C-alpha cells in the first residue's frame, strides 16, 4: 500500500517535466554510449587474452588492444560527464519549477492557512523536501537509467558467453531485491516522520530567533536552549533510525553480489578447466560481472531514494493542492466604490471560536468611521474581512451593491490602503518600503504620515536601510512608514488598524492633522483604542464580544452615557 501511495505522490511531478523529457532522453542516450564504451572494454580484454595462445600474434595485437582500451576509457569518461550534466541540469530545472509553483501557491492562500501552518515547517519544505525531489529527479533517475541499460546489455553479453554461468551469477538478485523493497517500504513512513521532526526544529529555531529580544529580556536563553536540544534530539533519533534502515540496503545487495561472484569463481573455474569456456570468456564474463556490482548496490539506494522522494512530494503536495478559503470568482467583476460598503449579517469564527456575530453596517463613500471596543472584540478581524484577507460568505459583504464574492480579489484590494496593527517592513530602504504601496509620490506619503521630522534625523534620508522587519526604527516610526505606504497609493478605501498605538500624544495630533488635510474623498475605517483619534470621524462603531453595541457620532455617543462614554471617562476625556 505504501508503494502505491509513493507512486501516486510521484505522479504529481509529471506537470513539472513538461519540456524536459528531451533532456532526459538525451541523457539516456549519452548513458547508452557511456555504457557501450564500458561494455566493450571486457570484450577487448577477452580478445587480448585469447591472442595470448597465439605467440606470433601477441606483439602485433597487444599494442592495438591497449590503445583501443585506453581510447574507450577516455571516451567513456568524457561521455559520462556529459550524461551526468544533462540529467542533473534537468533535475535542477524540476526543482526550480516546483519551487516557483510552491511560492505562487503560498501567495494565493488566505490568512486562515497561515494561522494553521508553521512558518518553519513551510521553510523546511522549501529546502529539505525540495532537496529530496532534486536528488530523485537527478541522481535517482540517472542511476535507474544506468542500471537498466547496463543490466540489459551486460546480462545479454554474459548469456552469449555462458547461460548457466549467468544464471549462477544473477540468481540471488531477485530474492535480494524483494528484501530491499520490503525495507524501502518502511523508509517511506520513516522519511515522512524525519521530515516532520526537521520541520518542528526549523519552526522552533525561526520562532526563537524572531523573538530573540524577548528571550534575552526575560533571561530565557537556557530554557529555549533546552527546548532546542530536545527537538534536535528527536530529529537526530529519527535520522539515525532512518540511516540504520537505509544502511541495511547496501549490505543486502552486497551479499547478493558476493554470492554471485563466488558462484562464478567456482563454476566458471571448473568450466575453464573442463574446456567448456575459454580463459578469455572467463575474463570477459568476470569483467561484466564486475560492472554489475555498483548498479546492483545502487538498486537498493534508488528504491530508498524513491521512497524518500515520495514522502517529500507528499508534504509538498499538501502545499501545492492547498486552496484558499476566500470565495471569489477568478474572472469576477471589477470592483468600484462610488456608493459605499455594506455589511449584512456578517459573522466570522477562528477555528470554531466565534469572533463576529451578525454585523450589520453601511459606510457611505467619503465617510470616516471609527471602530473601538475592548481587546478581542473583533475590530481587527472586521477590517481584515473588508480587505478580503479572510474568507467571507456570499451575501455578507457588498461594494456598491455587488457581492464581494462576485468581484475579483485584485480589483477589490487595488481600491484599499491597509495599515495592519503590527506594521511589517522589509529589510530595505525607507523609500523602498513606502513605494512598495504604489507608484505615488513617496515624499508626499512621508509628509502625510508625519514622518518628515524623523526622516531628517537619518543621515541617508529616504535611502536609509532599516534592517530586518524595520529593526532600526522605533515602533512609532515603523507604524508611520506603514501608514505612508498605504497613503502613497492614493486608495479609495483606507483601512487603519490602530495606526497611532505606538506614537505619543503630540505626534498623534500632528499625524491626525496631516491626515485630516488629505482625507479628500477617501472612505476611512479607523480602529483605535484612543477615542481622541476619532475627532475627525463622522461616526463611531463600538464593538463588544463581536457585536455592535453602540453606533453614532462621537458627540452623540458621549451624551448617551453608554459604553462609549464609559471608555471616554476611563481615558480622561470627560469627568
Compute the distance between CA of residue 6 and CA of residue 12 in angstroms, rounded to an integer.
10
Give 3-state DSSP helix, strand, coil % of the chain, rounded to 5.
Answer: 65, 10, 25
**Which pLDDT belongs to residue 469?**
76
Is the dihedral angle over the CA atoms 214, 218, 222, 223 positive or is it negative? negative
Q: What is the pLDDT along the chain (575 residues), one digit of tens a residue?
A: 344 456 676 778 888 888 888 888 888 888 888 878 777 777 777 666 666 665 555 455 566 767 777 777 788 788 888 888 888 899 899 989 999 988 888 888 877 787 777 777 888 888 888 888 888 888 888 888 888 888 888 888 888 888 888 887 777 766 676 676 666 667 777 877 888 888 888 888 878 877 777 788 778 888 888 888 898 888 888 888 877 777 666 676 667 666 777 777 778 778 778 777 777 777 777 777 777 777 776 776 777 778 778 888 888 888 888 887 775 555 678 888 889 999 999 999 887 788 999 899 999 998 999 999 888 888 999 999 998 888 888 889 999 989 988 888 888 888 888 888 888 888 888 888 888 877 677 888 888 877 888 787 887 888 888 877 777 888 778 888 888 888 888 888 999 888 877 677 767 777 777 777 767 678 999 998 888 888 888 999 999 988 999 999 988 988 888 888 888 888 776 64
Residue 162: exposure state from Cβ atoms within 10 A (0-12, 13-18, ≥19): buried
Are 528 and 471 in contact, with CB atoms under 8 Å apart? no
Contacts of 403 (CB under 8 A, 6+ apart): 394, 395, 397
For residue range 26-77, what is the model confidence (pLDDT) as tens digits? 888 888 888 787 777 777 776 666 666 655 554 555 667 677 777 777 887 8
Query: Rounded to an integer, what distance in angstroms lies between the CA atom of residue 195 and that of residue 444?
Result: 49
Quote the CA–CA distance of 221 and 419 in Å, as a whole number: 33
Q: Are 275 and 152 in contact (CB under 8 A)?
A: no
Sign of the Cα pseudo-torsion (389, 390, 394, 398, in order): negative
Q: Is 429 helix (H, G, I), strand (E, B) or coil?
A: strand
CA distance 202 to 223: 17
Quick one: DSSP state of residue 18? T
Helix orientation angle between 21-51 and 55-108, rounded to the nearest 10 degrees: 160
Q: How far apart are CA 508 and CA 502, in angstroms?
A: 9
pLDDT recorded at residue 573: 63
Q: Give the pTM.
A: 0.72
Tell me, what's the pLDDT at 539? 93
Q: Phi and psi (nearest 5°) for 346?
A: -80, 125
> DSSP 3-state assignment of 341?
strand
Indicate left, alpha or beta for 275 from its phi (over 0: left) and psi (-120 to 50: alpha).
left
DSSP string, 53-106: T-HHHHHHHHHHHHHHHHHHHHHHHHHHHHHHHHHHHHHHHHHHHHHHHHHHHH
The answer to whether the beta carbons of residues 88 and 139 sit under 8 Å apart is yes
In the beta sheet, which residues pair with residue 418? 495
Half-sphere exposure of 369 (CA within 13 A, CB side): 25
CA–CA gap between residue 480 and residue 503 (Å, rounded): 9
In which element (H, E) is residue 27 found? helix 21-51
CB atoms within 10 A of CB 222: 8
CA distance 164 to 406: 74
Distance CA 342, CA 359 (A): 10
Dist CA 199 CA 560 (whole Å): 55
CA distance 12 to 24: 18
* Nearest of 399, 320, 372 to residue 130 by alpha carbon: 320
Residue 403's H or E segment, with its range, is strand 402-403
DSSP 503: S
Upper half-sphere CA count for residue 15 (Cβ side, 13 Å) = 8
List domains and CATH numbers for the chain: 2-188+246-320 (1.20.1560.10), 340-570 (3.40.50.300)
pLDDT value, residue 116: 78
Rounded to whole angstroms, the Cα distance separating 193 from 199 reads 10
Pairing of strands 523-527, 353-364: unpaired
- Tally the C-alpha atoms within 13 A of residue 254's C-alpha that lie toward its C-beta: 5
Question: CB of 523 within 8 A of CB of 341?
Answer: yes
Amino acid at each position: 500500500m505504501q508503494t502505491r501511495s509513493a507512486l501516486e505522490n510521484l505522479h504529481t511531478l509529471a506537470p513539472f517535466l513538461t519540456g524536459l523529457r528531451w533532456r532526459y532522453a538525451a541523457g539516456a542516450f549519452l548513458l547508452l554510449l557511456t555504457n557501450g564504451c564500458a561494455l566493450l572494454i571486457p570484450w577487448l580484454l577477452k580478445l587480448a587474452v585469447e591472442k595470448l595462445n597465439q605467440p606470433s600474434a601477441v606483439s602485433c595485437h597487444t599494442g592495438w588492444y591497449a590503445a583501443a582500451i585506453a581510447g574507450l576509457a577516455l571516451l567513456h569518461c568524457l561521455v559520462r560527464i556529459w550524461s551526468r550534466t544533462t540529467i542533473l541540469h534537468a533535475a535542477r530545472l524540476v526543482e526550480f519549477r516546483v519551487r516557483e509553483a510552491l511560492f505562487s501557491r503560498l501567495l494565493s492562500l488566505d490568512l486562515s492557512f497561515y494561522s494553521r501552518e508553521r512558518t518553519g515547517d513551510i521553510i523546511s519544505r522549501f529546502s529539505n523536501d525540495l532537496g529530496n525531489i532534486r536528488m530523485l529527479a537527478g541522481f535517482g533517475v540517472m542511476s535507474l537509467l544506468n542500471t537498466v541499460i547496463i543490466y540489459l546489455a551486460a546480462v545479454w553479453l554474459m548469456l552469449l558467453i555462458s547461460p548457466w554461468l549467468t544464471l549462477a551469477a544473477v540468481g540471488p538478485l531477485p530474492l535480494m531485491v524483494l528484501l530491499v523493497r520490503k525495507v524501502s517500504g518502511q523508509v517511506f513512513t520513516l522519511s515522512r516522520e524525519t521530515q516532520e521532526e526537521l520541520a518542528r526544529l526549523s519552526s522552533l529555531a525561526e520562532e526563537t530567533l524572531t523573538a530573540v529580544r524577548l528571550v534575552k529580556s526575560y533571561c530565557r536563553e537556557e530554557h529555549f536552549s533546552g527546548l532546542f536540544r530536545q527537538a534536535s534530539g528527536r530529529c537526530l533519533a529519527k535520522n539515525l533510525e532512518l540511516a540504520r534502515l537505509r544502511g541495511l540496503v547496501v549490505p543486502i545487495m552486497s551479499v547478493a553480489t558476493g554470492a554471485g561472484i563466488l558462484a562464478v569463481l567456482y563454476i566458471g573455474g571448473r568450466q575453464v578447466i573442463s574446456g567448456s569456456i575459454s580463459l578469455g570468456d572467463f575474463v570477459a564474463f568476470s569483467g561484466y560481472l564486475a560492472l554489475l556490482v555498483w548498479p546492483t548496490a545502487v538498486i537498493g539506494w534508488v528504491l530508498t531514494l524513491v521512497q524518500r522522494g515520495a514522502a517529500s512530494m507528499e508534504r509538498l503536495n499538501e502545499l501545492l493542492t492547498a486552496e484558499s478559503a476566500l470565495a471569489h470568482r477568478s474572472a469576477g467583476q471589477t470592483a468600484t466604490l462610488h456608493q459605499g460598503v455594506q455589511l449584512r449579517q456578517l459573522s466570522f469564527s477562528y477555528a470554531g471560536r466565534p469572533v463576529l456575530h451578525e454585523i450589520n453596517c453601511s459606510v457611505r463613500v467619503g465617510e470616516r468611521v471609527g471602530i473601538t471596543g475592548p481587546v478581542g472584540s473583533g475590530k481587527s478581524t472586521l477590517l481584515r474581512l473588508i480587505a478580503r484577507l479572510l474568507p467571507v460568505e456570499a451575501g455578507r459583504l457588498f461594494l456598491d451593491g455587488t457581492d464581494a464574492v462576485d468581484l475579483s480579489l485584485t480589483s477589490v484590494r487595488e481600491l484599499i490602503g491597509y495599515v495592519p496593527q503590527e506594521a511589517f517592513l522589509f529589510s530595505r530602504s525607507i523609500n523602498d518600503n513606502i513605494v512598495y504601496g504604489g507608484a505615488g509620490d513617496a515624499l508626499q506619503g512621508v509628509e502625510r504620515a508625519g514622518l518628515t521630522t524623523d526622516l531628517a534625523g537619518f543621515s541617508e534620508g529616504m535611502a536609509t536601510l532599516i534592517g530586518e522587519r524595520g529593526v532600526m526604527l522605533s515602533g512609532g516610526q515603523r507604524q508611520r512608514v506603514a501608514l505612508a505606504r498605504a497613503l502613497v497609493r492614493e486608495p479609495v478605501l483606507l483601512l487603519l488598524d490602530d495606526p497611532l498605538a505606538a506614537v505619543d500624544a503630540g505626534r498623534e495630533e500632528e499625524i491626525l492633522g496631516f491626515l485630516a488635510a488629505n482625507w479628500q474623498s477617501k472612505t476611512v475605517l479607523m480602529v483605535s483604542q484612543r477615542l481622541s483619534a476619532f475627532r475627525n470621524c463622522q461616526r463611531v462603531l463600538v464593538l463588544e464580544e463581536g457585536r455592535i453595541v453602540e453606533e453614532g457620532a462621537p458627540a452623540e455617543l458621549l451624551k448617551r452615557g453608554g459604553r462609549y462614554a464609559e471608555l471616554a471617562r476611563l481615558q480622561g476625556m470627560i469627568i
